[in-house]
Amino acid sequence: MDNHVLEPSLYVIKGIAILDNDGKRILAKYYDPNTLPTAKEQKVFEKNLFNKTHRANTEIIMLENMTCVYKSNVDLYFYVMGSSHENELILVSVLNCLYDSISQILRKNVEKRSLMENLDVVMLALDEVCDSGIILESDPTAISYRVALRNDDIPIGEQTVAQVLQSAKEQLKWSLLK
């Protein structure tokens, strides 16, 4: 490492990935164009990362000059990556925020099938947590609220049949509970 002092930066997050229990990518975003610039490099890194973490019982790993924090649940692995000198607590808070907001969105059913059925909303949540490597929000309740608002604002003509049926079920449920 150079002897120069590292300047503070808002660009904390190098990447966020969600992998399945086979190490295959479900969703990934890399924010630093100098770190893993090609899809091929990203996939190799993700495979290596999964192989190092899927049997480990730690929450943090240093890999390829990056600090990676992760969490697994049922058949999903959530990863947040930062530079090697990044504060692990900040990375863990982003990881927890992402996981908790997805858990709220999926109504505590955090598993691959449910995540795939709601991938559009999960992608919105990811964008609410981090943009271009800058942490935007760390409150999972605020994120799930914002994402729910965006979903409700879709005109009925542009909603999928599943979205319309889900909306009707929700309205019926609430009217019966009153």
**What is the pLDDT at residue 96?**
96
Instruction: Please return the burial class of 132, using the count of CB atoms within 10 Å of its CB with bins 0-12, 13-18 and 19+.
Output: exposed
**What is the pLDDT at residue 58?**
82
Is residue 1 one of the residues assigned to a domain? no
Question: Which of the 8 DSSP states describes residue 162?
Answer: H
Look at 88-92, 101-105, 131-135, 146-150 and tell me which has the smallest mean pLDDT.
Answer: 146-150
Which of the pair, 20 or 171, is modelled with greater confidence? 20
What does the alpha-carbon distance between residue 75 and residue 54 come to, in Å, rounded to a whole number?
10
Is residue 106 one of the residues assigned to a domain? yes
**What is the pLDDT at residue 5?**
61
Is residue 85 one of the residues assigned to a domain? yes
Share the mean pLDDT of the chain.
86
| Mean pLDDT calculated for residue range 82-99 | 94
Domain of 63: which CATH number? 3.30.450.60
Is residue 38 one of the residues assigned to a domain? yes
Is residue 149 one of the residues assigned to a domain? yes
Q: Name residues whose C-beta falls within 8 Å of residue 126's C-beta, 6 or more positions apart in sequence.
A: 16, 27, 29, 98
Is residue 7 one of the residues assigned to a domain? no
Split into its structural domains, the chain has a count of 1
| Mean pLDDT calculated for residue range 101-111 | 90
Is residue 2 one of the residues assigned to a domain? no
Is residue 52 one of the residues assigned to a domain? yes
- pLDDT tens digits, one per residue of 118-154: 998 999 999 999 999 999 999 999 998 888 876 555 5
pLDDT exceeds 50 at position 3? no
| Structural domain boundaries enclosing 94 | 13-177
**What is the pLDDT at residue 1?**
47
What does the alpha-carbon distance between residue 80 and residue 28 come to, in Å, rounded to a whole number?
10
